Structure 1
Amino acid sequence: MMASYGSIGAMLSKIFFPRIPFVLTIQEGDREWEKNKFWWRRILSKADFVTTISSFLLVEVRKAGYAGKAEIIHNGVDLEKYGTPGKSKSGKTIVSISRRVYKNGLDVLERAFDIVKKKFPEAELKIISDAKHEDVPRYLSEADIFVRPSRSEGLGTAFLEAMAAGLPIIATPVGGIPDFLKDRETGLFTKVDDPEDLAEKIEMLFNDEKLREKLIINGRKLVEEKYQWPKIVRDMERVFDSLL
């Protein structure tokens, strides 16, 4: 059995060894398939089973013409790394653990922070673009709010990690984010490419302790119920077993 994230090599192996089941996992958040539609469709055509990390990506797989077996199996979070969150913190440190690429919208966050800073001069913004994964829990523990105003997103595992760490999150309603973010329930939505709206949402969390508490409790509960690695492993085992 071959499990692949979409490599052409896996597709070629399937051509030469057609009896070996081929499970294709789609995690793409950069919309690369729009630039490489030919290879995207060719790879999909050879898959015996496709898993995607969000409902958004499953829709894209179907749009590309794949009619075979497919299922959403999200990425997971190791809750043990984050402990048990306490009450919301009253500080004003914003963190975004995000690569400096266009899709992550960090330029929008920086412009929004300039607006926030005028009303809250004590506020801080930390953009961590080169974090080692083992350092992520520490960066999150030092912050009060997690923000990433994405322009596209396959799922957004960084948001799930922030929720596990007990931070309220602000995100855009793009890609796979609506799978886990329900506005004013597990996080706050902000408009895409709108620094004024983002600044308003940040200030809302600064000023509303009850809302922060609600988002923290609901966010952590959601991760505990749906995004722990043991559940993800069981789901993948079931997929593999179905093809053997």
Structure 2
Amino acid sequence: MLNCRTIFLSDVHLGCKDCQADYLLNFLEQAKADTIYLLGDIVDLWAMRKQVHWTLSQNKIVRCLLDKAEQGVKIVYIPGNHDEAMRLYAGKRFGNIHIALRGSHTTAQGKKLLLLHGDEFDKEVNFGRAQAWLGDNLYDLLLFLNRWYNRLRRLTGGSYFSLAAYIKSKVPGAQNAIARYRDAAIAKAKRGGFDGVVCGHIHHPEIRLQQGIIYCNDGDWIDSCTALVEQLDGCLALYHWTEQAEIIAGLPLTGNSKKAA
């Protein structure tokens, strides 16, 4: 059982065939928190316009979240671009889940964090429509390769490995776009007087202290399978949750960034 103060999740993409629902369901069943923030693209309405891919595990995820909310867990849903239709219901509740356009969270160590999905930074990251179209289609190809690569790994007894994330880490253009996105998010938090920012959108999990601002991207459940967790002492950690759950990065909010195995 993972006992923590707060969980941050985004980019689950329920309804999409690449959603790693079994891993997320396992995480939610083993994680206990006072508060859960859903930072957008929880349901992939874009993908569902083309083809609905809704599994039993995806249905159980929705039921699990609703049950946690009924049991007193505070759950805030901040929609993203793939579930932007939910933004029309900002200020309302779905069951006991509160819907908001953005939010803030104060950690146990008194750090105030800006919470948003992050698609508002697209104009500062993209070079133009052609590049955006090319990027989307290349990512679809990466997901296709990731899906079949991991099917072969399972058949040979191997554990999950994010081939898509590995390939992205080797592409200079992708790394430049990630850096520009990070800079835009940090600037937004700084202008607002926040100590840090938590976002998703770009499917790149990361914790970093930059310009005195805590930058956290909680990743996704398409290829990375990561969640950001505020531990009971107020420290932040990124969990990679597949066959073998592990902390891949941690940041004690009173100190500098560090890597953890």
Which has a greater percent of helix? 1
Which has a greater percent of strand? 2
Greater C-alpha radius of gyration: 1
TM-score by length of 2: 0.30
TM-score by length of 1: 0.32
